[in-house]
Amino acid sequence: MTRPPEPDSAADASGARRRYRVCVVGSGMRFVSGLSHYTYFLSRSLTGEHDVSVILERNLVPRFLYPGKSRVGTEISSLATAEFAPTFDGLDWYGIPSLWQATRFLRRQRPEVLVLEWWSAACLPGYLALSRYAKKLDTPMVLELHEDLYPAEAKVPVLGPAGA
């Protein structure tokens, strides 16, 4: 398995730090939330030291199930990762054809590290598929856990404490 070098060997002979190809997978702006902004700012900050690409969750769940359904698709933020990084917007809950497009995007970007931002059980199907594909590419993954279960999901019997 290909692994990034240890921190002490991450510099070249001139002392310059090596730039990694990093792909961040997180919440897009269609179902805008705090995580959407976090995805933007994390990706933006990584561009200082790495070559970043981004895969955004576009249609996370069927719209009628989303607590903020009245604002889905409303442009309430002008932030866009496409302004500074190759971006695939996006991965849809129903998978086809967006999952094939996302894996094609990964293949073209050839990330050396895949960062999966976890905040909702709704992202599980897409993340499982992307992680399987990343494993085929021998790409190490980082699962960044924001919360194990989104508060609204905790009320769902199969997902919440009663289902645990």
Written as tens digits, the pLDDT of the chain (164 aa) is 556 556 555 666 777 789 999 999 999 998 888 889 999 999 999 999 999 999 999 988 888 877 777 888 788 889 999 999 999 999 998 989 999 999 999 999 999 999 999 888 888 899 999 999 999 999 999 999 877 666 666 666 666 665 45
Q: How far is 77 from 29, CA to CA, in rounded Å? A: 8
Contacts of 120 (CB under 8 A, 6+ apart): 60, 149, 150, 153
- The reported pTM is 0.83
CA separation, residue 91 to residues 2, 59, 125 (Å) = 26, 7, 10
Region of 26 (left: φ > 0; alpha: ψ -120 to 50; beta: rest) is beta
Pick the CATH number of 19-163 from 3.40.50.720, 3.40.50.11930, 3.30.70.20, 3.10.620.30: 3.40.50.11930
Q: Where are the domains of the chain?
A: 19-163
